[in-house]
Amino acid sequence: MKRIASRDNPLYKELRRLAQGAHARRQGLALLEGVHLCQAYLQWGGTPRHAVFDAVRSESGELRALRDAVPPACQAWLEPGLVDGLETVRSGQGVVFVIDTPAPPLPARADENCVLLDRIQDPGNVGSILRSCAAAGVRRVFLSADTAYAWSTKVLRSGQGAHFSLTIHEDVDLLALSARLDVPLLATTLDDAVDLLRADLPPRAAWVFGNEGQGVDPALQRAAALRLRIDQEPAAESLNVAAAAAVCLFEQRRQARRAGQ
Amino acid sequence: MKRIASRDNPLYKELRRLAQGAHARRQGLALLEGVHLCQAYLQWGGTPRHAVFDAVRSESGELRALRDAVPPACQAWLEPGLVDGLETVRSGQGVVFVIDTPAPPLPARADENCVLLDRIQDPGNVGSILRSCAAAGVRRVFLSADTAYAWSTKVLRSGQGAHFSLTIHEDVDLLALSARLDVPLLATTLDDAVDLLRADLPPRAAWVFGNEGQGVDPALQRAAALRLRIDQEPAAESLNVAAAAAVCLFEQRRQARRAGQ
């Protein structure tokens, strides 16, 4: 256990650089802020590189439980005020984990229910979709190069721990991946599409959800076995992409459940 | 048509104050940024107080069409660079409307399909739910006092124009409202709730969706005719509230459609 009392401490300086985001990503590291994300990481079986606690608050219930679950060698206790420099949320909870970002190898073939994110830019949308995936039973997610970085602080916060029940692949060439799928590719789109509720959805599929403004890339749409649209009021705007993804994944779950009964 | 060349122009100074947000709200005004929101407002039949254009770009297609649709008396053309001071998005499109915020009177009774937002704090979530409401055919939304302000720039951006197909009531005492409902109140909650897919959803209801961390207020839960949960993987976190709202509203739409067939 290290105790850090100064902003000039080398480890503290490194932690501050990691908190900037880009540096952490280059180093293959991610920062988990707050009790809930840190708990989810430990439940998943992870051991943090550094578990950084606000020394003042580290005796309180939830922080103490986290502290007791982490090897002393990776603990750093910060003197009052220092932890604020690491947390991006205003109401920080006095704990930050530095973890190795999982970088799972791409599977040669994909034969399970999975989700592809095509240039989804809003971190809140990416986090919300990861949550919906975990809740709907999807286990694997592929992110294209221009999708918001899954292990950024904002996506982690919005994902609420869903990251740790998923296998997340970043920087994936989705079109190349589409040739390696052993499940049908389903694209959501507004034009030339089948009503989601009239489609017999396969219990295992690769769902692709597209950019907030432009939708799914036309080449991916052409590669899709089925193009689907969500029935809605004629004059209305399309749904937000994370809302649309939730409707699709839970309609698939509904149909699978009905078929299983 | 006014032409503004200086940051010291009184109208420009007032526009800059309005762009801060809090001032606009106090004045009963809202700012619409970008082509899409301004188009949606005009389609709805609105006339802006001020239609502010970047003079350089005002001859281009979409801006020109907007300009032609707005009375000259409310147009203000800004010399290069000035419009940037009004827009909160980086890739501004060179047009901002200042509009009177609709403030519809509360209905004495509510007998239609509607949505209640109980302390939903994230502007992206509020905007996404408004979009889902408009797409699912909900026409009226009630926001509690601590819900993100619907006419803020962030909620407007996330709502993508849905505001103009809805009647939005702000600062509503939802518990008092629940006594004036002529439709059943449906609350989403994780405990002591009926599986959404096993429930016969009424075609008209008042859905209440709750705070991101705390869910629906217990008093509102007690007032609900039906408490519903979305079936999901046992170990998973709950859905993001906007994703959950979309799943509920479109499940209701699916059941209504099936009943109508």
pLDDT of A199: 94
H/E element holding A253?
Answer: helix A241-260
Query: Do B132 and B69 have their domain in common?
Result: no
pLDDT band at B71 (very low <50, low <70, confident <90, very high): very high
Cβ contacts of A162 on chain B, cutoff 8 Å: 236-237
Cβ contacts of A35 on chain B, cutoff 8 Å: none
Give the residue ranges of chain A where pLDDT is below 50. none
pLDDT of A47: 96
Domain boundary among A100, A126, A152: A100
- Is B225 inside a domain boundary? yes
pLDDT of A84: 80
The CATH number of whichever domain residue A195 belongs to comes to 3.40.1280.10
Domain tally, chain B: 2
pLDDT of B120: 98
Substitution target in B41, B195, B240 with the highest count of A β-carbons within 10 Å is: B240
* CA A233 – CA B125 distance, rounded (Å): 20
Q: Quick count: other Cβ atoms within 10 Å of Cβ B17? A: 13
- Is B120 inside a domain boundary? yes
Q: What is the 8-class DSSP label of residue A105?
A: P
Query: Do B65 and B146 have their domain in common?
Result: no
- Is A195 inside a domain boundary? yes
A129's tokens: 């979709």
A to B CB pairs, distance under 8 Å: 111
pLDDT of B91: 66
* Interface subset of A 150-209, CB within 8 angstroms of B: 158, 160-162, 165, 197
* CA B64 – CA B32 distance, rounded (Å): 17
Query: Do B196 and B75 have their domain in common?
Result: no
Cβ neighbors of B29 (< 8 A, separation 6 or more) are: B18, B49, B98, B99, B100, B101
Query: Mean per-residue pLDDT for B60-72?
Result: 90
Query: Do B68 and B125 have their domain in common?
Result: no
- Is B227 inside a domain boundary? yes
- Is B215 inside a domain boundary? yes
A226's tokens: 């089925």
pLDDT of A155: 97
Range of the domain at B72: 2-100
User: Is the Cα torsion angle B199, A244, B119, B48 positive or negative in sign?
Assistant: negative
Phi/psi for B235 (5° steps) reads -85, -5
Query: Do B87 and B118 have their domain in common?
Result: no
pLDDT of B30: 95
- Is A106 inside a domain boundary? no
pLDDT band at B92 (very low <50, low <70, confident <90, very high): confident
Query: Do B201 and B81 have their domain in common?
Result: no
Under 8 Å between Cβ of B15 and B98: yes
Helix A241-260 crosses helix B241-260 at what angle (to 10 degrees)? 60
Domain boundary among A100, A129, A146: A100
- CB atoms A197 and B235 under 8 Å: no
Query: Do A245 and A119 have their domain in common?
Result: yes
Query: Do B74 and B149 have their domain in common?
Result: no
Query: Do A120 and A81 have their domain in common?
Result: no
Using the predicted structure, report yes or no on whether residue B19 has a pLDDT greater than 70: yes
- CB atoms A233 and B132 under 8 Å: no
Using the predicted structure, report yes or no on whether residue B261 has a pLDDT greater than 80: no
CA-based nearest residue to B242, from B90, B169, B136? B136
* CA B59 – CA B67 distance, rounded (Å): 9
Looking at residue A60, its amino acid is S
Query: Do A18 and A55 have their domain in common?
Result: yes
Query: Do B133 and B8 have their domain in common?
Result: no
Query: Mean per-residue pLDDT for B73-82?
Result: 90
pLDDT of A190: 81
pLDDT tens for B123-154 read: 999 999 999 999 999 999 999 999 999 999 99
pLDDT of B188: 92
Domain boundary among A77, A100, A123: A100
- CB atoms A257 and B231 under 8 Å: yes
Query: Do B93 and B161 have their domain in common?
Result: no
For residue B226, what are the β-bridge partners? Answer: B186
Cα A184–chain centre separation: 23
pLDDT tens for A108-133 read: 999 999 999 999 999 999 999 999 99
- Is A211 inside a domain boundary? yes
The CATH number of whichever domain residue B17 belongs to comes to 3.30.1330.30
Computed on alpha carbons and rounded to an integer, the radius of gyration of chain A in Å comes to 21
Measured CA angle at A125 (ends A124, A126), to 5 deg: 95
DSSP B166-229: SEEE-S--HHHHHTTBSS-EEEE-SSS-EEGGGS---SS-EEEEEBTTTBS-HHHHHH-SEEEE
- CB atoms A233 and B136 under 8 Å: yes
